[in-house]
């Protein structure tokens, strides 16, 4: 099937048009600065042809119309008719406790997603806008939602509950949900494939290190724990998010600095992490070059790697062993320095990196004698979304 995959943010839409039989992207692109008069659409076709369109894209409806416009364009397009888009798959950040699997989107599903907005106030509203925009611009085209939280729905209560009064979990659904599930699923499956071992026999830790960072403990193909929690703020140090901290310090800072709830949220989500610690940048490439001269950048780098190491140890203990450790995401896939630092001195755990393989970014970067296999795998969340969408739509059509 030919599936349009959409990842709708508040001011951006990332898209890919995927042929699920060939498992290739026929086109991919990005609409940025939605809501502005000089929004930019960058569209790239499978053969390398690339165009940039600048225009007034005031909302998600217009953005989707622009995307359809370039996809249909004579010179740069990949389809002749809107009908060539057989279905649309959406990345939806938060499925709450309702959606533990991908879903065919109906009006009832949209209503439940709207009910879940409170759990993901930043992410779910633009996801819903994208769904409604497709409903308008591609009427009748089947749509599916694939949730960032779904892969982690298998976690046991001891991993997803917090040590707070149980009534609060019941009342507000306050629990660990975890995110980046599509990526953790994809790279753990891929790792098993590369190692030639059935995933049901493997204990894998996956580290998705991008602007947002999270790790997962994947035991026999099932996520049993993950570092992001109720929201994507918990866990590892990230570009602009603090990750783990003592909850009391939030109250302390709010009191000392006279911050409102919103301001405290902004401090921890937007001004902490690499940018807050270094004062330089949220971009790991800049931290890596600044750390040679600047202490604060060095601290940020050290803390970033140290925390990954701690979670790795914790998850190996949680699973009662470790067979493979996977790096993915912009940082995980591209920075040999981070991978080297994280894996340093882990011989006791059976981890031994091969320097050359690591620098060459091989799929397997551990030495032949390393008991635990360390891998570097490019994630492909869009392909997972497209494949799930095709499966759901085909099943639906077979039943009809
Ligand atoms: P997102 O989470 O938004 O999808 P990515 O997965 O693309 O983001 O990751 C972005 C991060 O990857 C940034 O911190 C960027 O600095 C980092 N990155 C990209 N290339 C490199 C590189 N060669 N070395 C180190 N970090 C890199």
CA of 276 to the centre of ligand 1 (A): 17
What is the rounded CA–CA span in Å between residue 1 and residue 13? 22
Confirm whether 239 is domain-assigned. Answer: yes
pLDDT (tens digit per residue) in 311-328 = 999 999 999 999 999 999
pLDDT of residue 124: 86
- pLDDT at position 244 is 98
**Residue 313 token pair:** 């140890």
List alpha helices for the chain, DSSP H.
60-72, 107-115, 124-137, 157-160, 166-172, 181-195, 247-257, 261-270, 273-278, 284-290, 295-319, 329-334, 336-343, 355-359, 381-399
Is residue 134 in a domain? yes
Q: Which residues are catalytic?
A: 148
The residue among 147, 168, 186 that closes a domain is 147
Indicate which CATH number applies to the domain containing 358.
3.30.420.40
Tell which atom from ligand 1 comes closest to the C-alpha of 211: 2
133 and 246 part of one domain: no
Q: Tell me whether residue 28 is exposed, middle or buried, using C-beta atoms within 10 angstroms of its C-beta: 0 to 12, 13 to 18, 19 or more.
A: middle
Ligand 1 center–CA 235 separation, angstroms: 18
pLDDT tops 90 at residue 10: no
Whether the per-residue pLDDT at 117 is higher than 90: the answer is no
Give the mutation target among 238, 278, 287, 331 for probing the ligand 1 site: most ligand atoms within 8 A of CB. 331
pLDDT at residue 121 is higher than 90:
no
Residues with Cβ within 8 Å of 399's Cβ and at least 6 positions away in sequence, in order, are: none
At residue 178, the pLDDT reads 97
Ligand 1 atom closest to 338 (CA) = 25
Judge whether residue 123 has pLDDT over 90. no
Q: Which atom of ligand 1 is least distant from the CA of 288?
A: 25
Q: Are residues 129 and 234 in the same domain?
A: no
pLDDT of residue 346: 98
* Same domain, yes or no: 208 and 351: yes
Residue with CA closest to ligand 1 atom 19 = 330
User: Is there a single domain that holds both residue 204 and residue 322?
Assistant: yes
Same domain, 342 and 224: yes
pLDDT at 150 (0 to 100): 96
Domain tally, the chain? 2
Whether residue 396 lies inside any domain: the answer is no
Domain membership flag for residue 143: yes
Closest CA to 373 of 381, 363, 382, 383: 363
pLDDT (0 to 100) of residue 131:
96
367 in a domain, yes or no?
A: yes
Q: Is residue 333 part of a domain?
A: yes
Q: Which two tokens stand for residue 146?
A: 């694939």
Are 252 and 114 within one domain? no
> What does the alpha-carbon distance between residue 16 and residue 217 come to, in Å, rounded to a whole number?
29
Atom of ligand 1 nearest to the CA of 212: 2
To which residue do tokens 């490439």 refer? 285
Per the structure block, which two tokens stand in for 189? 């499956």
Q: What is the mean pLDDT of residues 258-286?
A: 96
Q: Is 265 in the pocket of ligand 1 (CB under 6 A)?
A: no
Whether 366 has a pLDDT exceeding 80, the answer reads yes
pLDDT at 120 > cutoff 80? no
Ligand 1 centroid, distance to 334 Cα (angstroms): 7
pLDDT at 198: 98
pLDDT in tens, 228-241: 999 999 999 999 99
175 located within any domain: no
CB of 283 shorter than 6 A to ligand 1: yes
Question: Which of 78, 112, 147 marks a domain boundary?
Answer: 147
Average pLDDT over residues 162-178: 96
Q: Are strands 24-32 and 36-45 parallel, antiparallel or unpaired?
A: antiparallel
pLDDT at 61: 94
Tell how far the Cα of 383 is from the centroid of ligand 1, in angstroms: 19
Do residue 239 and residue 336 come from a single domain?
yes
- Of 180, 210, 228, 338, the residue with max ligand 1 atoms within 8 A of its CB, to mutate for a pocket test, comes to 210
What percent of the chain has pLDDT above 90? 93
Find where tokens 């959606």 sit. 99
- The answer to whether the CB of 278 is under 6 A from ligand 1 is no
- Residues 52, 372: Cα–Cα separation, whole Å: 45
**Residues 336-353: pLDDT tens digits?**
999 999 999 999 999 999
Answer whether 284 contacts ligand 1 (Cβ < 6 A).
yes
Mutate to test the pocket of ligand 1, among 14, 209, 211, 288 (most ligand atoms within 8 A of CB): 211
Distance 183 CA to ligand 1 centre (A): 15
Q: Are residues 118 and 239 in the same domain?
A: no
Residues 251 and 371 in one domain: yes
Residues 123 and 268 in one domain: no
pLDDT-derived band at 378, boundaries 50, 70, 90: very high
Say whether both 104 and 240 belong to one domain: no
Collapse the DSSP code of 201 into the 3-class scheme (helix H, G, I; strand E, B; otherwise coil) and give the result. helix
Residue 345 lies in a domain: yes
Domain span including residue 241: 196-376
The pLDDT tens digits for 53-77 are 999 999 999 999 999 999 999 999 9
Q: What pLDDT does 280 receive?
A: 87
Query: Does 273 contact ligand 1 (Cβ within 6 A)?
Result: no
Q: How far is the CA of 328 from the centre of ligand 1 (A)?
A: 10
Q: How many angstroms is it from 331 CA to the middle of ligand 1? A: 5
Q: How far apart are CA 71 and CA 56, in angstroms?
A: 18
Whether residue 194 contacts residue 363, with contact meaning beta carbons closer than 8 Å, is answered with: yes
Q: Which atom of ligand 1 is nearest to the CA of 208?
A: 6
Cβ 299 under 6 angstroms from ligand 1? no
Is residue 96 scored above 80 in pLDDT? yes
- 235 with 372, same domain: the answer is yes
Question: Ligand 1, atom 3: nearest CA belongs to which residue?
Answer: 211
Residue 103 CA, chain-centre distance (Å), reads 18
């Amino acid at each position: 099937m030919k599936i349009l995959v959409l990842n709708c943010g508040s001011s951006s839409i990332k898209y890919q048009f995927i042929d699920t039989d060939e498992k290739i992207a026929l086109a991919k692109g990005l609409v940025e600065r939605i809501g502005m008069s000089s929004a930019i659409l960058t569209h790239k076709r499978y053969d390398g042809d690339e165009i940039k369109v600048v225009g007034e894209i005031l909302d998600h409806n217009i953005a989707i119309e622009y995307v359809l416009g370039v996809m249909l364009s004579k010179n740069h397009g990949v389809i002749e008719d809107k009908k060539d888009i057989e279905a649309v798959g959406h990345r939806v950040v938060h499925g709450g406790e309702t959606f533990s699997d991908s879903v065919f989107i109906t009006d009832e599903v949209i209503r439940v997603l709207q009910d879940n907005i409170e759990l993901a106030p930043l992410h779910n509203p633009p996801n819903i806008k994208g769904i409604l925009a497709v409903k308008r611009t591609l009427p009748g085209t089947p749509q599916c939602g694939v949730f960032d939280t779904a892969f982690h729905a298998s976690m046991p209560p001891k991993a997803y509950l917090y040590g707070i009064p149980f009534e609060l979990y019941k009342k507000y659904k306050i629990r660990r949900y975890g995110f980046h599930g599509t990526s953790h699923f994809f790279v753990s499956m891929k790792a098993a494939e590369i190692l030639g071992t059935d995933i049901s026999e493997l204990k894998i830790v996956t580290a998705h290190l991008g602007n947002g960072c999270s790790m997962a403990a994947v035991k026999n193909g099932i996520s049993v724990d993950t570092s992001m929690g109720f929201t994507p703020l918990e866990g590892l140090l990230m570009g602009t998010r603090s990750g783990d901290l003592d909850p009391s310090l939030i109250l302390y800072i709010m009191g000392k600095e006279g911050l409102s709830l919103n301001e405290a949220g902004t401090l921890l989500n937007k001004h902490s992490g690499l940018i807050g610690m270094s004062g330089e940048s949220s971009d790991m490439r800049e931290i890596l070059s600044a750390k040679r001269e600047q202490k604060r950048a060095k601290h940020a780098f050290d803390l970033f790697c140290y925390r990954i190491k701690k979670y790795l140890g914790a998850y190996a203990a949680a699973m009662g062993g470790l067979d493979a450790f996977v790096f993915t995401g912009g940082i995980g896939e591209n920075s040999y320095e981070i991978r080297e630092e994280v894996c340093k001195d882990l011989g006791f755990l059976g981890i031994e990196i091969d320097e050359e393989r690591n620098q060459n970014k091989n799929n397997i970067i551990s030495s032949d004698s390393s008991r635990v296999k360390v891998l570097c795998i490019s994630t492909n969340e869009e392909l997972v979304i497209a494949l799930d969408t095709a499966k759901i739509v085909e099943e639906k059509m077979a039943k009809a």
